[in-house]
Structure formats: C-alpha cells, structure tokens
Chain A
C-alpha cells in the first residue's frame, strides 16, 4: 500500500460509522472507511447510492447525522468558519460536471482559491494558474469562458482548479463520466500522473470499472449505505462476494437488482 516517497503509513482520512438520510431515504447507513496518506482509493457503486454524498461529508458541505469524518486527525463535522475553510484549502474537489463558475474565465476559475485566500501578487497567481493548466495538458485557454469549452476540457479545467491550491487531498466525483473513452483514458492517465507527481491522497468516486482498476491502489464498494467490500484491484476483481461480482461484471441479474 505504501507509495514511493512516503516512509510511514499514516491514515489521512478516517470515516467512522457515518449515517445520513434525506427525508425518509437512508443514504449512508453506518459507513466506515480508512484511507492511507498518499494512496488512491476508488469508491464504486451504483448511481444514486450515496457516493457523492460521502464526498460532500468529507468536504464538510453536508453534516453527518451520526458518526464522524476525520481528516488528518481533525473531525470535519465539528469545524466551523475559518477552521473549516482552512481545512478545505488543503483539499481539492473535482465535481462531476466540472462546476466551473460561468461568470469567470478559465484563469479566474483556476486561480479562484488563490485570489480569494492567498494574498499573492497577480503575476504569481497567473504563473500558478498557467502551471496548473499545463499539468492537465491545457495551454493558451486562460481567457476562454467555461461555455466555450468541451466536456472533457471542462473536466480538465476543474482538475486544474482543484490542484491550483496545492492540496494534500483530491476528491474526484465521477471524473470519467460523460466523456468519450479516449478522453476518459487520458483523464485516468492524468489522475495517475498527478498522483505520482504531487503525492496526494485521492478519493475517486466512479462506476467506471476500467478507470477504477487503472487508478486505484484500493477499491471499496458502496452498497446499501455501507462499504461491503474493499481491497486491492486484484482482490476486488477476484472477489467471491456476489454483489461485487454482479457490479464489476455489469450484470443485469443478480443480488443487487433482486432487492
């Protein structure tokens, strides 16, 4: 599990017995998970099973009903105001549709965190923006508006925005959904290489198994509000668990669809 460049195993993110429901719908029901510093954990599960809700708890956008989320020893649900924002600036989140700010151009989007929080000179912000865009393979689009970009480019810009604040943790919400297979693979490569270059801890939420095998150090399956299986990509691939088997092989018939 240990990645090169890190000399001891530290739990970066720990989720304990997390519960959350919306109206009568129980979304998370006692979810527990530990993620080691510097590794990539892929969370798989069906659409609408609460994967994005889990990410929003880690970011502190949603508050848990029960249970705790610890990041580097700090309980997210108890933090407020300045402390919460300070913790959030150590994390970057890449949203499913990009969630780029329509009213700002690409440079404004990517540099948003720096402009708002770090009082850096304009020139330095611009350099950082350029570097972040270069890391995701984009050049010369600083002045474009989000509406002028294609879906794949939006995801890349969103990724650049997340890494521009130099986070220690990156959360990805379905990074390969809605783009063509070739772009999807280039995004996978990108996640992999960012990971190697920046030594960040990542959580990737997806239902794209090809991507999960490619980028994950660990894969965890979310079903019925709990993690029902976790292990290395090989372990998941050879899992005897009927739920996992049905999901990773994409079968219409099986225990998941029977309930």
Chain B
C-alpha cells in the first residue's frame, strides 16, 4: 500500500522533472536559434498578427468589463468613507500594475496558447513535424522561434492597450454614474501613476509571453496518440501556462517590491 503510493509519487515527480527539463531545453534552443541567422521576419510578422492583433477584440472586451467591475467594487467601499475621488487612483494603479498584465496574459494563454498547442499537436500527429526535419528544417527554428518572438513583443503591446481600455471602463462608470468630473478623474489618474508602475507592469508581460509560447509549443510537440492526445495536450498547455503565469507574477511582484520600494 505505502510502496504503491511511493511508486505513484515517484512517477509524478519524474514526470514533473521530465517536463521541466524538456521545457528548459526547448526554451534554450528557442533563444539560441532565435538569435542566430537566418532571421525570417515574414513569419514573425504573420505570428504577431495571429497572436497579437487578432486578440485585440477579446482583450478590449474583457478589459472594459474589468474596468467597470473594478470601479463599482471600489466604489462600494470608497463611498462609505466618502472618498470617491480616489477610485480613479486605485483603479489606475491596480489595472496598470496587476490586472492589465495578468488578465491579458491569461486571455492570450487561453486563446493563443491553446491554438498553438492544437496546431502543433495536429502537425505532430500527422507527421508534419517529421516532414519538416526531412526537408532539412529545424522545427524549433521554423515553428517555435516566430511564435516566441511574436508573443514576447505583442503581449506588452496588448497590455498597454488593455490598461488604457480598463481605465476607460472605470472612467465611464465614475463620470456617468458616480458624478466625478471628467477632468478631475484624468488628473487623479495621472497623478497616481508613476513610470515604475508602468514599467513593472509591462516588464513581466515579456516573460508571460515567453511562458505561453514555450509551454504551448512544448505541449504541442509532445502530443501522443491522435486526436485525444491533442485534446489532452491543449488542456495541459492552458493549465500549465496559467499556473506558470501566476507563479511568475508572484515572483516579479515580490522582486519589484524590494527593488523599487
């Protein structure tokens, strides 16, 4: 009974270590090949469009709702203590430092990460990845590098945009519902925001982009067993990306807390 449990635990630990090893190996190869010529800008732009530009509508919608929700939730308490004006600064800080980057990363992980895993997984199942190799093309260079570069560029851009939309959502609630004047709202918002808030918010999204790209590509490459395997890998990819994004966020928040007190 106990030995059975230990065996099970051991195999889980091995699987985890195997995953970490494989993921780091892919990330290392991705970096190495990403910075060695030839550079195929065409494919990076294609991926930037697929992963970034096509995500604008869903990111806008979600950021707008987050702005609404956050304004209303903070209003609940701020009205009790009679300082509605500070809703603006509270929303600006939390959206720029935390909500914008993380929500954007999670939306992109769900939308783009899942699509990447499903696409590469189907390619793996139908031997297209092997076919790339037989045509003398490194699959990491051809498939992973453009996605990783595109995601690490596009995620910060999407985040800036999500920040703006989120603050705009809160602005709508405050100006039209709570009766704060438009000029006042803007002034309080920009007074609250410092450069370091924007920087710490955006810096971590570069890493979120890499996490999404490498995890989803790794899961796609390691699909086994046909259509069912693709489904399983897609689920794994989204769950793993979510966990790693939140963990990385925790790490960066702690790091910046001590670097920029």
Interface residues, chain A, with chain B CB atoms under 8 Å away: 56, 59-61, 85-86, 88-89, 91-93, 95-97, 99-102, 112-113, 116-117, 161, 165
Contact = CB atoms under 8 A, between A and B. Distances in A.
B83 interface: no
B127 interface: yes
Interface string B104-140: 0000000000000000001100111011111111100
Contacts of B127: 95-97, 99
A53 to B, nearest CB: 12
B51 to A, nearest CB: 14
B37 to A, nearest CB: 13
30 contacts: A56-B130, A59-B133, A60-B133, A61-B130, A85-B137, A85-B138, A88-B134, A89-B136, A91-B134, A93-B130, A93-B131, A93-B134, A95-B127, A95-B131, A96-B127, A97-B126, A99-B126, A99-B127, A99-B128, A99-B130, A99-B131, A101-B123, A101-B128, A102-B122, A102-B128, A112-B135, A113-B136, A117-B137, A161-B135, A165-B135
A196 to B, nearest CB: 24
Q: Which 5 pairs show the lowest CB-CB distances between chains A and B?
A: A85-B136, A99-B131, A99-B127, A93-B134, A113-B135
Contacts of B133: 59-61, 88
A100 B136 contact: no
Contacts of A116: 135-137
Nearest to B131: A99
Nearest to B134: A93
A61 B134 contact: yes
Nearest to A93: B134
Interface in B123-179: 123, 126-128, 130-138
A89 B128 CA distance: 16
Nearest to A56: B130
B128 A59 contact: no
Nearest to A82: B136
Contact of A95 (B130, B136, B138): B130
Nearest to A60: B133
B136 A117 contact: yes
A161 B131 CA distance: 10
Interface of B: 122-123, 126-128, 130-138
Nearest to B127: A99
B120 to A, nearest CB: 11
Nearest to A88: B136
A88 B134 CA distance: 6
Given A93-B134, A95-B131, 6 more contacts: A95-B127, A99-B131, A101-B128, A102-B122, A112-B135, A112-B137
Contacts of A85: 136-138
Nearest to B40: A116
Nearest to A52: B127
B258 to A, nearest CB: 42
Contacts of A93: 130-131, 134
B239 to A, nearest CB: 25
Contacts of B134: 59, 61, 88, 91-93
Contacts of A88: 133-136
A28 to B, nearest CB: 17
A117 B142 CA distance: 13
A88 to B, nearest CB: 5
B135 A100 contact: no
A131 B127 CA distance: 25
A82 B137 CA distance: 10
B130 A100 contact: no
A161 to B, nearest CB: 8
A163 B177 CA distance: 69
Most central of A88, A91, A93, A99 by chain B CB within 10 Å: A99
B137 A100 contact: no
Contacts of A102: 122-123, 128
Nearest to A90: B136
Contacts of B128: 99-102
Contacts of A56: 130
A117 B38 CA distance: 11
A30 to B, nearest CB: 24
A116 B130 CA distance: 16
A149 to B, nearest CB: 14
A85 B139 CA distance: 12
Nearest to A101: B128
A88 B133 CA distance: 8
A117 B131 CA distance: 15
Contact of B131 (A86, A89, A101): A101
Contacts of A97: 126-127
A88 B126 CA distance: 20
A113 B142 CA distance: 12
